[in-house]
């Protein structure tokens, strides 16, 4: 068996590394803000971390606490069935009376009392008497339809 001998070399200190340039406090704060913003925008936080929970809470707060006025893009109420059924819908019958909803676009700027009997005559193909014509309006006073009571 050969004996091994350990050779001890004298410790040589590595040359000192150049000192990193000193960053100002303002630069450190700006880089920290950039890091937080980029992680928040790209959703880089782990699920369940406090940062993730904070972002979710902020999103939910925006959804539920923002005023409705900011999003005033709701469509006005419309009777969409009228648009699909050629502009005239039978709403109900009682004895010899029938109630219809008539699309205001069919009236097209004429007096409803003059135009509706002509429109109904083309649609019904039978004799009738118009008993009443009521205008249905939305909250902005836009005419949605006419309710017409007809006696057959």
Output the pTM of the full model. Answer: 0.45
| pLDDT(24) > 90 | no
pLDDT the model gives residue 148: 93
Best CA proximity match to 40, nearest among 50, 25, 30? 50
pLDDT the model gives residue 1: 54
pLDDT tens per residue across span 26-84 = 888 999 999 988 988 888 888 889 989 999 999 999 999 998 778 766 555 455 544 55
pLDDT tens per residue across span 89-117 = 888 888 889 998 888 888 877 888 999 99
Annotated domain spans of the chain: 25-71, 80-151
């Amino acid at each position: 068996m050969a004996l091994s001998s350990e050779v001890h070399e004298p410790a040589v200190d590595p040359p000192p590394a150049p000192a990193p340039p000193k960053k100002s406090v303002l630069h450190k704060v700006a880089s920290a803000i950039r890091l937080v913003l980029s992680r928040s925008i790209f959703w880089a936080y782990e699920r369940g971390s406090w940062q993730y929970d904070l972002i979710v809470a902020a999103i939910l707060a925006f959804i539920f606490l923002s005023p409705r006025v900011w999003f005033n893009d709701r469509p006005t109420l419309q009777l969409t069935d009228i648009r699909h059924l050629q502009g005239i819908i039978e709403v109900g019958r009682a004895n010899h009376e029938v109630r219809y909803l008539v699309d205001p676009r069919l009236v097209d700027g004429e007096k409803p009392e003059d135009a509706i009997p002509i429109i109904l005559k083309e649609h019904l193909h039978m004799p009738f008497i118009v008993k009443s014509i009521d205008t249905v309006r939305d909250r902005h006073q836009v005419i949605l339809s006419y309710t017409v009571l007809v006696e057959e």
